[in-house]
Amino acid sequence: MNTQIYGQLLSETIPAVITNEQEYKRIEEIFANLFKKKRSPEEDKLFDLLATLLENYEQKSLPKLETSNPIETLRFLMSENNLKQIDLIDIFKTQSIVSEVLAEKRQINLTQAKNLAEKFGVSLELFV
């Protein structure tokens, strides 16, 4: 990783602890743009930092999803990120498995849960 490039990304992004909805939306937009692209090592490091900042704010300010099961959570995150079943084939291996999971005919296994948590930048506990 090139620290000069990473430093430039930080100076452009100006990440900090999120304290309000406006800052949350700003960081979320940057995060979403990074999510959609093939990232450099420096962008990956920024992506991880932004994911942590977003997750911390969400844990403090959003209602708990304790009543949601892992599949409801997955559906919600797919909707929020405008993803279709085909966008999850890299995690589930086939579209039919994605369909079975979303129809609650199949459980999310631990490997899939880890990959989903990484993909969405959320806690693993949401999928187990």
pLDDT of residue 67: 58
Task: Give average pLDDT by consecutive 10-residue segment, the chain, 128 residues.
Answer: 94 94 93 91 94 89 67 91 94 94 94 93 87
Statement to judge: residues 108 and 83 lie in one domain: yes
Same domain? 15 vs 45? yes
- Predicted pLDDT at 128: 84
* Final residue of a structural domain among 44, 61, 78: 61
C-alpha closest to that of 126 among 52, 75, 69: 69
Q: What is the extent of the structural domain holding 46?
A: 3-61
Query: Is 124 in contact with 91 (CB distance < 8 Å)?
Result: no
Determine the Cα–Cα distance for residues 51 and 24; give it in Å rounded to an integer.
11
Q: What is the pLDDT of residue 60?
A: 82
Q: Is residue 82 located within the same domain as residue 52?
A: no
What pLDDT score was predicted for residue 31? Answer: 92
Give the domain-ending residue among 61, 89, 108: 61
Whole-prediction pTM: 0.52
Cα 110 to Cα 25, 31, 76, 122: the distances in Å are 30, 25, 19, 15
CATH of the domain at 91: 1.10.260
Last residue of a domain, one of 42, 61, 80: 61
Helix pair 70-80, 95-102: axis angle to 10 deg: 120
